[in-house]
Amino acid sequence: MKRIFSISLQNRLALTYALFIGFALAVLTVIINIFTGLIFTSLVKTNIAAKSTEIVRVVGERYNPMSRGFDTVIIEAIGMYFVHEGYITTVEDESGGLVWDARACDMRECITVIYEIAGRMEGQFGMSGAMRKEQYPIMYAGRTVGIVTIETYGPYFYSETESTFLASINRLLVIATIILMVTSFVISVILSRAIARPVNKSAEAARQIAKAHAGGVGGKPLTIRIDDKCQTKELAELARSINSLAAELEEAECRQKQLTSDVAHELRTPLTCLQGDIEAMIDGVYKPDRERLESLHEEIIRLAGLVNDLNTLTSLEWERLTLNKAEFDLAALLRVTAEQFRAAAAEKGVEIHLCLVESLLTADYDRLKQVFINLLSNAVKYTDNGCVIVSVQKATTVGVEWEVFITDTGIGIPEVDLPHIFERFYRTDKSRNRSTGGVGIGLAIAAAIVHAHGGTISVESNGKSSVFKVAL
């Protein structure tokens, strides 16, 4: 089997955060570098233009109108000064005669400066270029008295000071990026641990709960609860879900133990009676007369009924219930079902009243009859005086056609038991009194059948009486 590579949530989060922040910082650094370069380049071009204007102005100030010539000594000094800054200057008079030429004055120095600038721009900044010339007129009293030709490395160049400054900015950006990436990695690790910690706790709690539930280790691990006071909403919800699962499993385990005890008792009693009577008949203590055989038969029927109920519940549990639907009168079904309990009710002095109207319904007749048998059986069983009322009426709720009400004047249902009354194996009477016996299956079966029909079943009780409502 091929092994699947996996990575922990904490490492995945840390790696994701680190990559995302690292990528964001890299993009930000590139953008800052580009904008810085554009701004700096614009500034350099402005400086070059300003420097050229300054050269023309300074040379123009050396013009002597009396002699109509220039002070060549000062111009030479000015020209050599600007050569060292990358400006190769040539000055001509108004007749086109050469006044001063930087190359002719010191060709070696000019070449050296040009090579330094070219090497700096190409080697340090990766920008190739060539020397370019610009001519500027020297004006005096509204007329041109000469021309200054300035040769520079183009399209622009950085002076040594400017290149040092720009390199410093780039180094600071790189250092800042590295520091921010390291910081972001540390923060991502901390954040990933903070997020993964409650997830790991939830996973560990789930494993312990599953192990305990599968192995049945005394139920103790099912009492495990994890802290759900988390600042992250989703993680807090996860913790609450695990705690809710543990609570439900703990309750289910207790109910399962109760079921096992109840079913064992319900089976033990008729089996004991059967065993005792049969052994007595075998030993000749009892005669196998009709009365004793009928008693044995009743116990067998009781056992068969319990087994059938358990089998029905199993079918409902695994959704294997098949409905054989046909149209019939719901009122007629209720009337027939109520008649089955009139004798038992009359023995207790309880009356059964019917308030029925014709109510055609398409459903499974036998399954719904089982529902109302269970409800009426409970109503008669828990009512010692008064009456049981069975009524049906047209529903006013959207999606519901008919509503059936079974009302009794019995002992009522405690408020604490109302939310659980239709749960499997739940009993309001925790004792094993056979007069009010049962293992909490009847109402669960009734609820499952009603739900299979797309209906609802509910109960209301004020402590003195109960009203069961079936909406179909």
Query: What domains appear along the chain, each with residue ranges and CATH number?
Result: 9-180 (3.30.450), 225-320 (1.10.287.130), 321-471 (3.30.565.10)
Bigger pLDDT: 136 vs 19: 136
Q: What is the pLDDT averaged over residues 219-235?
A: 62
Given a cut of 50, whether residue 193 has pLDDT beyond it is yes
Phi and psi torsions of 391, nearest 5°: -135, 155
Given a cut of 90, whether residue 128 has pLDDT beyond it is no
Given a cut of 50, whether residue 305 has pLDDT beyond it is yes
Please tell me the predicted confidence (pLDDT) of residue 309. 72
Given a cut of 50, whether residue 465 has pLDDT beyond it is yes
**Band (363; pLDDT cuts 50, 70, 90):** very high
Integer Rg of the chain from CA: 50
**Band (390; pLDDT cuts 50, 70, 90):** very high
| Cα 97 from Cα 112, distance rounded (Å) | 27
Looking at mean pLDDT, say which of 54-68, 153-167, 257-271 comes out highest: 54-68
Looking at mean pLDDT, say which of 185-194, 234-243, 409-418 comes out highest: 409-418
- Among 343, 372, 388, 392, which residue's Cα sits nearest to residue 443? 372
Given a cut of 70, whether residue 90 has pLDDT beyond it is yes
Least-confidence region, from 36-50, 137-151, 348-362, 423-437: 423-437
With residue 112 as reference, give the H or E element that holds it. Answer: helix 107-119
**Band (105; pLDDT cuts 50, 70, 90):** confident
Q: What is the pLDDT averaged over residues 159-180?
A: 82
Say whether the peptide bond before residue 155 is cis (omega within 30 degrees of 0).
Answer: yes
| Cα 35 from Cα 43, distance rounded (Å) | 12
Least-confidence region, from 4-13, 211-220, 387-396: 211-220
**Band (439; pLDDT cuts 50, 70, 90):** low
Q: What is the pLDDT averaged over residues 186-211?
A: 74
Given a cut of 90, whether residue 302 has pLDDT beyond it is no
Q: What is the 3-state secondary structure (H, E, C) of 360-401?
A: EEEEEHHHHHHHHHHHHHHHHHCCCCEEEEEEEEECCCCCCC
Please tell me the predicted confidence (pLDDT) of residue 232. 63
Please tell me the predicted confidence (pLDDT) of residue 335. 93
For residue 390, give both structure tokens: 């069975």
Looking at mean pLDDT, say which of 7-16, 95-104, 294-303, 317-326 comes out highest: 95-104
Please tell me the predicted confidence (pLDDT) of residue 262. 65
Residue with the two structure tokens 């400054």: 165
Least-confidence region, from 267-281, 366-380, 430-444: 430-444
Please tell me the predicted confidence (pLDDT) of residue 449. 87
Please tell me the predicted confidence (pLDDT) of residue 215. 59
With residue 268 as reference, give the H or E element that holds it. Answer: helix 233-283
With residue 408 as reference, give the H or E element that holds it. Answer: strand 402-408
| Cα 286 from Cα 441, distance rounded (Å) | 35
- How many other CB atoms sit within 10 Å of the CB of residue 337? 19
Please tell me the predicted confidence (pLDDT) of residue 231. 59
Bigger pLDDT: 166 vs 340: 340
Check: CB of residue 386 under 8 Å from CB of residue 350. Answer: yes
